[in-house]
A and B are shown apart, each in its own frame.
Chain A
């Protein structure tokens, strides 16, 4: 069965600190997709990154970077030099193709507070 664990419920940092959000997943499928979404107080889920199970290449996008390790079933997200605007809930999600569409389960989310 699918499972996504985000063990950190809340993280509080001071602006300009680096912060890493952890994500551990479980699946029996060999083909799957991992995502990170950001949810600001407005409620909209903003797509940040997608990784498929065959692509373990790490990625950097500006202040954001992601570390995907199949050996430990982890897909961690690092924000470098955090800013107040990074304050939000961050969800890690696992998607697998089911007949007719993707079944996606989300982790419980990590609420990030960045203080000025």
Chain B
């Protein structure tokens, strides 16, 4: 099973709202990732968690706050977003050491900020 699930599929929020994106995997992967993908552009890495600890932050604005409560779950908390933050947010997971080093992606959350 190589499934990564993401909820919600679509999200519309105002600039003063607080919302969260959720990602879940049950492949035993200990690295999880958030990517942002604007229309007609490639995905761009935002955050990496390894063994539930934040290991890479690609200089993402603080209005995006990641959280990894356990090895299967990854959240992205959103607050005071801007319209330019509208994008497809993709979650991925992979093994960390040894094994198959492939990132498997979820279906994404399409976010629209009004």
Contacts and interface: CB of A to CB of B under 8 A. Distances in A.
B46 to A, nearest CB: 12
Contacts of B107: 42-44
Interface residues of A, number: 26
Nearest to A106: B42
Contacts of A97: 101
Interface in B63-114: 88, 90, 92, 94, 96, 100-108, 110
Q: Which of B42, B56, B88 lies at the interface centre, i.e. has the most chain A CB atoms within 10 A of its CB?
A: B42
Interface size grouping (class) on chain B: 20 to 34
Q: Is the interface of A mostly helix, strand, loop or mixed?
A: strand
Given A91-B42, A98-B56, A106-B43, A43 B50 contact: no
A113 to B, nearest CB: 14
A38 B108 CA distance: 14
A20 B20 CA distance: 40
A47 B45 contact: no
Given A42-B107, A44-B108, A91-B42, A101 B49 contact: yes
A65 interface: no
Nearest to B105: A45
Specify which of A47, A91, A101 lies most central, judged by the most chain B CB atoms within 10 Å of its CB. Answer: A101
Contacts of A106: 42-44
Contacts of A37: 105
B56 A100 contact: yes
Given A43-B88, A44-B107, A102 B55 contact: no
A44 B48 contact: no
A100 B53 contact: yes
B108 A109 contact: no
B48 A102 contact: yes
A100 B102 contact: no
Interface string A32-50: 0101010000111111001
Interface of A: 33, 35, 37, 42-47, 50, 52, 91, 95, 97-109
Given A50-B100, A101-B49, A103-B48, 5 more contacts: A43-B107, A45-B92, A98-B48, A100-B31, A100-B56
